[in-house]
Amino acid sequence: MKNEETMLRLKTIDGHLRGVIRMMEEDAYCIDVIRQIQAVQAALNKVSAGILENHLGSCVTTAIRGEDPAERERVLKEITDVFETATKV
């Protein structure tokens, strides 16, 4: 996912989130609000996956092909930490 595409998706998500805020301000039906929140979460997950894919294809690949074992360990630990944090939610 290119940076421009990522930014466009994030701006779209921002608009959807503002819609959720308006729904809450207008005391919308709870299930409708929850569905919109789930849509925002799904869209954020898609953006996150795209960013991770880019990271794996660039930074991680470079580190793994490099000759610095500490750098390899660092990037692999970063990925592990991201997934550990995601599962704590």
In this predicted model, which residue has the larger pLDDT, 86 or 39? 39
Q: What is the dihedral of CA 12, 82, 80, 2, to 10 degrees?
A: 30
pLDDT computed for residue 44 by the predictor: 97
d(CA 64, CA 83): 19
Where do the structural domains in the chain lie, given as residue ranges? 3-88
In this predicted model, which residue has the larger pLDDT, 1 or 89? 1
d(CA 59, CA 79): 11
Asked whether residue 17 carries a pLDDT value surpassing 90, the answer given is yes
User: What is the per-residue pLDDT across 29-84, written as a single tens digit (0 to 9) for each?
Assistant: 999 999 999 999 999 999 999 999 999 999 999 999 999 999 999 999 999 999 89
Identify whether the C-beta of residue 74 lies closer than 8 Å to the C-beta of residue 63.
yes
Asked whether residue 10 carries a pLDDT value surpassing 70, the answer given is yes
User: Looking up tokens 């789930």, which residue turns up?
Assistant: 38
pLDDT computed for residue 89 by the predictor: 62
d(CA 89, CA 78): 17
Does the domain spanning 3-88 belong to CATH 1.20.58.1000?
yes
Sign of CA dihedral 13, 18, 20, 23: negative
How many CB atoms are located within 10 Å of the residue 36 CB? 17
